[in-house]
Amino acid sequence: MSNVHELKFLKEKIEELKKQGVYRKLPVLEGANEAEVILNGKKVINLSSNNYLGFANHPRLKKAAIEAVEKYGVGAGAVRTIVGNMDIHEEMEKVLAEFKREEAVMVFQSGFNCNAGTIQAITEKGDLIVSDELNHASIIDGARLSKADKTIYKHNDMDDLERVLKENRDKYRNILIITDGVFSMDGDIANLPDIVELAEKYEAMTYVDDAHGSGVLGENGRGTVDHFGLHGRIDFSIGTLSKAIGVIGGYVAGSKTMQDWLSHRGRPLLFSTSLPPAAVGAIIEAVKMLMESSEYTDRLWANAKFFKERLGKLGFNTGNSQTPITPVIIGDEAKTMEFSRKLFENGVFVSGIVYPTVPKGTGRVRCMVTAGHTTEQLERAVEVFEKVGKEMKILK
């Protein structure tokens, strides 16, 4: 009995992580998530945040959050289906629907919850979920919660997707094709025009998780669907409110029918309290700011272009990213983690990403350039990359 309470079985697993060299403590940030931060007591340039537009500590969002707290308090007090649906939750969804140019939006408490709750609510036994092999963990978990059958297709490979659709069309009632809009480890964009063509040919539904495309791609950051001009042809368009928008939450944009159904069967909405007023106030302000001007998305793209070009000129392999996500591919796992450690010692924080998050032998540090970085900060970061790259013989 006492062994059980000592959690010996977990201690053993933790020892195993240590042996594998993948054990770590959670890094601690002193202050807001900005372009330059104090992390684990050290001042560093932050190249690992999803705060694409610098909104996480923006004065206009903070003011809106404070005003919402003054009027509505700090908590919503209930799930949305009981008495936790305030008028600002409704306003937030209206503003988001306008931004995404869709009929309706349903907001969840996080992007993760949104995928976990939506996929299981819109599929059932007798349906098939067809998922890109590199889709995000929350999509995988959402699919696991569904009673539908599941299969994957090779990453962004349209021949393989068509093979799966052809083989399965007559065996199932509904088929749901799910893809990330922007893939978070490589920064490549899904081939949405061809996915939509195939979906229409085989009468399948489409589901795009645009966590890394919303606020980044398309007119004023309207996302990957807007980037390709595919409004009205994607059934479920997912975005997160935690990355470019800088706050917390996730949403599905699409039809009123979708919204109506999720308000009855979206389990995270039925069984978990709705977003706090401060978050909702800040989200509304962020979306208004995006619709007002492209200032922030323009700066994000200019910074990303500058940083990618400078790293490329030095001779780093920055992969095939089509977005501000900038992987610097090192290859060997141990070398990748050492590179990340040395960058940190020299004042740049960029996390190392290795197997199993990415395939073996493709270890990388993944740089997230934001609109909040100054040119001077990016130049300093490039100098550190050059110094450490030469020391470790990654560069000649």
- Please tell me whether residue 211 binds ligand PMP under the rule CB under 6 A: yes
The secondary structure of residue 80, as a DSSP letter, is T
Q: Which is nearer to ligand PMP, 56 or 211 (CB)?
A: 211
Scan for tokens 């780093």, then name that residue.
316
How many angstroms separate the CA atoms of 215 and 297, rounded?
7
Residue ranges of alpha helices (H) inside 21-83 are: 59-72
Q: Where are the beta strands (DSSP E) in 53-108?
A: 104-108
Q: Which residues pair with 251 in a beta bridge?
A: 107, 239
Q: Which is nearer to ligand PMP, 111 or 324 (CB)?
A: 111
| Residues in CB range of 179: below 8 A, 6 or more apart | 131, 132, 135, 156, 190, 192, 195, 206, 207, 208, 209
- Please tell me whether residue 187 binds ligand PMP under the rule CB under 6 A: no
Binding part of the chain for ligand PMP, among 4-12, 27-35, 111-119, 337-345 by CB under 6 A, reads 111-119
The count of residues in the chain is 396
Residue 58, SS3 per DSSP = coil
Given 72, 99, 112, 307, the residue binding ligand PMP (CB under 6 A):
112
Q: Which two tokens stand for residue 288?
A: 């208004």
Would you tell me how many other CB atoms lie within 10 Å of the CB of residue 202?
17
Binding part of the chain for ligand PMP, among 192-200, 204-212, 351-359, 388-396 by CB under 6 A, reads 204-212
159-to-134, 163, 240 alpha-carbon distances in Å: 16, 6, 30
- What is the rounded (10 degree) CA torsion for 163, 164, 165, 169? 120
Q: Which is nearer to ligand PMP, 119 or 382 (CB)?
A: 119
Q: How far is the CB of 368 from ligand PMP (least distance, A)?
A: 11
Q: Which is nearer to ligand PMP, 179 or 377 (CB)?
A: 179
| Residues in CB range of 29: below 8 A, 6 or more apart | 37, 38, 39
Nearest residue to ligand PMP, scored by beta-carbon proximity? 111
How many angstroms separate the CA atoms of 285 and 71, rounded?
16
Q: How far is the CB of 136 from ligand PMP (least distance, A)?
A: 4
CA-only gyration radius of the chain, Å: 22
The answer to whether the beta carbons of residues 351 and 343 sit under 8 Å apart is: no
- Please tell me whether residue 214 binds ligand PMP under the rule CB under 6 A: no
Site for ligand PMP in 19-38 (CB under 6 A): none
How many residues sit close enough to ligand PMP to count as binding (CB under 6 A)? 14
- Please tell me whether residue 110 binds ligand PMP under the rule CB under 6 A: yes
Tell me the catalytic residues.
184, 212, 243
Given 184, 237, 259, 274, the residue binding ligand PMP (CB under 6 A):
184
Q: How far is the CB of 184 from ligand PMP (least distance, A)?
A: 4
Given 33, 214, 240, 323, the residue binding ligand PMP (CB under 6 A):
240
- Please tell me whether residue 246 binds ligand PMP under the rule CB under 6 A: no
- Please tell me whether residue 186 binds ligand PMP under the rule CB under 6 A: no
- Please tell me whether residue 250 binds ligand PMP under the rule CB under 6 A: yes
How many angstroms separate the CA atoms of 93 and 163, rounded?
37
E strand or H helix that includes residue 381: helix 375-391
- Please tell me whether residue 111 binds ligand PMP under the rule CB under 6 A: yes
Task: Kindly write down the DSSP assignment for every residue of 238-264, as one continuous string.
Answer: EEESSSTT-SS-EEEEE-HHHHHHHHH
Binding part of the chain for ligand PMP, among 17-25, 157-165, 191-199, 207-215 by CB under 6 A, reads 207-215
- Please tell me whether residue 385 binds ligand PMP under the rule CB under 6 A: no
Q: Where are the beta strands (DSSP E) in 92-227?
A: 104-108, 128-132, 149-153, 175-180, 205-209
Binding part of the chain for ligand PMP, among 106-114, 199-207, 300-308, 388-396 by CB under 6 A, reads 106-114
Strands 42-46, 36-39: pairing is antiparallel
Q: Which is nearer to ligand PMP, 368 or 378 (CB)?
A: 368
Residue 377, SS3 per DSSP = helix
Q: How far is the CB of 300 from ligand PMP (least distance, A)?
A: 17
Binding part of the chain for ligand PMP, among 14-22, 145-153, 205-213, 351-359 by CB under 6 A, reads 205-213
Query: One symbol per residue from 132 to 161: x for binding ligand PMP (CB under 6 A), - otherwise; what is it?
Result: ----x-x-----------------------
Given 93, 127, 209, 235, the residue binding ligand PMP (CB under 6 A):
209
Provide the binding-site residues for ligand PMP, judged by CB under 6 A.
110-112, 115, 136, 138, 180, 184, 209, 211-212, 240, 242, 250
